[in-house]
Amino acid sequence: MRLDETSEVRPAPGELLVEAVALGICGTDLDIISGKYGAAPPGEERLILGHESLGRVLEAPRGSGFATGDLVVGIVRRPDPVPCPACAAGEWDMCRNGLYTERGIKAQHGYGCERYALEPNFAVKVEPGLGPLGVLLEPTSVVAKAWDHIERIGARARSWKPRTLLVTGAGPVGLLAAMIGREKGLETHVLDQVDSGPKPRLVADLAATYHRDPRVIADLAADIVLECTGADSLVLRVIQYGGRDSIVCLAGLSSGGRTVNFDVGGFDRQAVLQNDVVFGSVNANRSHYEAAGAALAQADHAWLERLISRRVPLEHWREAFVRKPDDVKVVVDFSPEAP
């Protein structure tokens, strides 16, 4: 990982020229840095990181729907070139053939540079009222997609009226998932392992309940479980916990490669007899960025501000990639003055 000079970006006709304001760092970035995940653009050796963007439009072509000074977030995924039926329908988050690309992650340079080009079709306007909190739009979009699918699955039974939600993991994704759960009026529980730092308070301030004992997973038998850690032991517990008509959404990405004993027959028996659903959710399409914008607008902005536990100026960028005990969301600040 290094901070480097690149050639000045030249937007293609129709594209926006955007200057970076902030960049959120997440577990995916750390996986890319450690070589476990991600890919540089074809024929290149290095990848410009960054997929949680917030930028300001410097130049917008006439008729693009954007104007100089607009705050924007860049959508992460680009449709595959075939395109598959999902990508053809604007549902690149559901890409069928895996040939999609992702800025800052898979075969496309990211938003971690001072100026970048952005196609208007893949730019999302940030409400001026949200300002610097717009950097939370991308992680919120991932959660909004998970919620969208939970509700579509729930609608399989006309009588479905969920009451309880359990979120595993009080990182940014887990906290944003809990925030949306509260906005939906659900009794919300969050499980994490820490007993100090900002997370327990952030959960309490959502009027949700914080837990440290994983036995809560079975005891609570929540209607909805949103797994946001990707940790083996939790994934195993949530898929086996046995709520009735329950929906378990796996939204944390595991690194894989470890095996455990698993009672397949017992799992099958329970899932069949109880109509359980376990499903995975990744990425977000434009409708989810819009839903995320609405969810953030509704939220308590002072609470969202606390989610951003550290803002690291660009000149100290390396510190943003070192995890500290009280970190929730760490952001690299590109602009010396706040937007």
Contacting positions for ligand BGC (CB under 6 A): 26, 28, 51, 76-77, 102, 105, 138, 142, 282-283
Nearer to ligand BGC, 103 or 237 (CB): 103
Nearer to ligand BGC, 173 or 217 (CB): 173
SS3 5: coil
Main-chain phi, psi angles of 280, to 5 degrees:
-105, 155
Shortest Cβ 220–ligand BGC spacing (Å): 27
Shortest Cβ 103–ligand BGC spacing (Å): 9
SS3 296: helix
Nearer to ligand BGC, 278 or 282 (CB): 282
**159 CB neighbour count, 10 Å cutoff:** 5
Nearer to ligand BGC, 177 or 216 (CB): 177
CA 220/CA 164 separation, integer angstroms: 8
Shortest Cβ 284–ligand BGC spacing (Å): 6
Sign of CA dihedral 145, 173, 180, 191: positive
Question: Within 13 Å, how many C-alpha atoms sit on residue 319's CB side?
Answer: 11
Nearer to ligand BGC, 33 or 271 (CB): 33
DSSP string, 223-240: SEEEE-S--HHHHHHHHT
Shortest Cβ 7–ligand BGC spacing (Å): 26
CA 110/CA 135 separation, integer angstroms: 14
Shortest Cβ 106–ligand BGC spacing (Å): 6
CA 216/CA 15 separation, integer angstroms: 49
Shortest Cβ 23–ligand BGC spacing (Å): 13
Nearer to ligand BGC, 243 or 252 (CB): 252
Residue whose C-alpha is closest to residue 336's, from 75, 80, 114: 114
Q: Are strands 224-227 and 209-211 parallel, antiparallel or unpaired?
A: unpaired
Shortest Cβ 52–ligand BGC spacing (Å): 7
Nearer to ligand BGC, 64 or 283 (CB): 283
Residue matched to tokens 């929906």: 247
Q: Are strands 277-280 and 247-250 parallel, antiparallel or unpaired?
A: parallel
The DSSP symbol for 254 reads: P
